[in-house]
Structure 1
Amino acid sequence: MTLRPPVVADVADALAQLAGVAIRTPLLRSDELDALSGGKVFIKCENLQRSGAFKFRGAYNCLSRLDRAAFPGGVVAYSTGNHGLAVAGVSRMLGLACTIVMPFDAPSVKIARARAHGADIVLYDRHRQRREDIAASIAERSAVAVVAPGDNPFVIAGQGTAMAEALQDLALAGIAVDVAMVPCGGGGLAAGTCLAVEALGFQTEVWAAEPAGFDDTRRSLASGKRECNATVDGSICDALLAPTPAALPFAVNKDRLARVEVADDDEVLDAMRFAYQELRIVLEPGGAVGLAALLARPGALRGRTVVVVASGGNVDTAVFMRALARQPIGGAAA
């Protein structure tokens, strides 16, 4: 089945679909963060979203529209973690059978929580197998819908509602946002954010942030075609290790993303520690990469008003303890 790229109207539709279902997550700020960045920074706390990540938005916007007569077997999704966890949780809410294809080295907390939602988990070796092929094979054997993490217009539009909410809330307070910064793996959140900005008629620039060594979106924007990463692992940002930008998000992002920053693992761990010590929120590595990029290169946003999406909080304890052991950034409280 060929899916069309999402359009601006899809975000408005997704906002209506998610009303009263998704949590309208808070915006946090701190004087310390503003001083370190040189700007006025708001953190959109999607780590507090249902399923612990923004991915709930896209999963619900998609699965709540599923044609159950056409797909009596439910759904199959492939994911490094948060998309699969969200699909599992929404499937449980809606009474759908669900299979999630996840790499065996995905964070154990994400695998365990998906199982707890009642999903069947199929583990694979990301070095030797393609998750898309496994999902397609499952769909060939049973009447299930494949719910991709990026190449689905309803998923992308749903993800865009996170920034739409933030921009709406700040507009009501009379605050205009110069830059929206979002983590980027396959590009769905970035694409949804670009469409959300257009839907609201704002002039906000959309920036993406990627893990160092996995900057496929940045390189793709430069070349004009979808580039691949050299490897499928090697960063603690497990949620952002897509091998290449997803096709539908890139169709949106290639003409709309203003800039892509990167952050390495040490910078991400520093940002996780800062978020906990200064803002009292728990972030997973992929959820902290936007904040990490901002803190590592503060001059880029000096004097500007910024919303950074903290996209998820599903972190393994050992990784979180590594972050807490870091030296504080600037004057952040110990």
Structure 2
Amino acid sequence: MIELNPLSQPPNQADLLLTHEAIQPFIHRTPVMTNASLDRMSGCKLLFKCENFQKIGAFKMRGAASAALRLSAAERERGLATHSSGNHAQAVAMAAKKLGVPAYIVMPHDAPKVKIAAVEGYGAQISYCVNTPKDRQEALDKVVEKTGAAFIHPFDDYGVIAGQATAAMELIEDTPGIVLDLILAPVGGGGLMAGTALASRYFSVQAEAWGAEPHNVDDAARSLVQGSVQINETNETVADGLRTNLGEKTFDIIYKRVPRILIVDEDEIVAAMRLIWERMKIIVEPSCAVPFAAVLRYPELFAGKNVGIILTGGNVDVVGLPF
């Protein structure tokens, strides 16, 4: 097992390369898929990095593994802890299982049942809370005080950001005959978006990293305009993985490296999710359909371009589909 040094500043190119090597035992190298029908519909060349096929069904495995490997042996021995509505919870639980240490997860009562079941299946101990940032943090503080476990932040951690960057690194490496113009990622807490921006800077010939988020939780777009972290007044969106506000670390990177964050409506997210299911025959969560929804909403921005899209996860409750 390769152990990584803690990061006190945004990861550089060497950090990202070492991170990618270190997390190999924890991740799959997910495929890049295309679809001629969706290309015609959108007027551009789309290349989907399918993290719905990742271990635990989402890209979050990358960041959790990266952060866990930056802890000392003594820190890891006391266990890993986090708060999450689902995918990061699963990732920390699986990372702990692979490392042979306990996992303590705080989840909101209204987290998707499929994600709660998965966290339980990885052997983690779950504590439940009300779904607000304040309640999540208070519940987590109690768990950490009781257990001494190391907190792995869902997104606002340079180690997590370095891990999430590896998805875009693979996308760039696995499309050698295509010069990507844009790489799109959905924005929640910003860990994936920040990592994608860094990967685009260090490993792509010319690709810009753009974000996409639901109108109901558009804090990232407003943050870019205001130049400081903005807070959502509601978390009402079908894209349950994007309800979180940006963190300070993720905002700093995104503000410097991401020129655009596009906004889409709820019905557009559901329609994009359904199109991916119908045309590509793969299962995706509402959150990861958001960038494709942005391509369909703003065709003039993408016409004739080569566009990479990170499909972030496939942990959806098929009993309660939004379409």
Q: Describe the SS at the equivalent of 2:74.
A: coil
Residue of structure 2 aligned with 1:208, choices 211, 235, 259: 211
Q: 1:5: which partner in 2? A: 9
Partner in structure 2 of residue 40 of structure 1: 45
State the TM-score, normalizing by the size of structure 2: 0.94
Q: 1:270 to 1:155 in 2, by over 3 A?
A: same
- Name the counterpart of 2:3: none
C-alpha separation between the residues in 2 aligned to 1:68 and 1:144?
A: 12
Residue of 130, 135, 141 corresponding to 2:140:
135
- Aligned match of 1:196 in 194, 199, 203? 199
Poorly superposed stretches of 4+, deviation over 4 Å:
none
Distance 1:251 1:294 in 2: 25
Report if aligned partners of 2:76, 2:101 keep a CA contact under 8 Å in 1.
Answer: no
Which letter maps to 2:16?
A: V
Count residues with an aligned counterpart. 317
What is the 5 A alignment of 1:153-168?
A: 153-168=158-173
| Preserved contact between residue 291 and residue 310 of structure 1 (Cα < 8 Å) | no
- 2:8 is aligned with what amino acid? R
- CA distance in 2 between counterparts of 1:15 and 1:64 reads 12
Q: Mean Cα displacement is larger for which, 290-299 or 35-44?
A: 290-299
- Confirm whether residue 87 of structure 1 aligns to residue 88 of structure 2: no
Task: Return 5+ residue gaps in structure 1 as ranges.
Answer: 324-334
1:257 lines up with 2:262 in the alignment: no
Do residues 186 (structure 1) and 171 (structure 2) align?
no
How far 1:259 sits from its partner (Å)?
Answer: 0.6
Q: CA deviation at 1:4?
A: 2.6
SS at match of 1:69: helix
Distance 1:47 1:307 in 2: 15
1:104-119 residue pairs with structure 2 within 5 A? 104-119=109-124
What is the CA distance between 1:271 and its match in structure 2? 1.2
- Choose from 67, 85, 90 the match for 1:62: 67
Tell me how far apart the structure 2 counterparts of residues 305 and 54 of structure 1 sit (CA, whole Å): 22
1:75-105 CA-partner distances (Å, limit 9, x unpaired): 1111111101111111111111001111110
Aligned amino acid, residue 320 of structure 2:
V
CA contact (8 A) 2:181 2:307 kept: yes
CA deviation profile, 1:256-305 (whole Å, cap 9, x unmatched): 10210122221111111111111111001112111111122222201110
1:235 maps to 237
Shift of 1:144: 1.0
SS state of the match for residue 30, structure 2?
Answer: coil
Note the C-alpha offset of 1:127: 4.4
Give the TM-score, by structure 1 length: 0.91
The corresponding residue for 1:269 is: 270
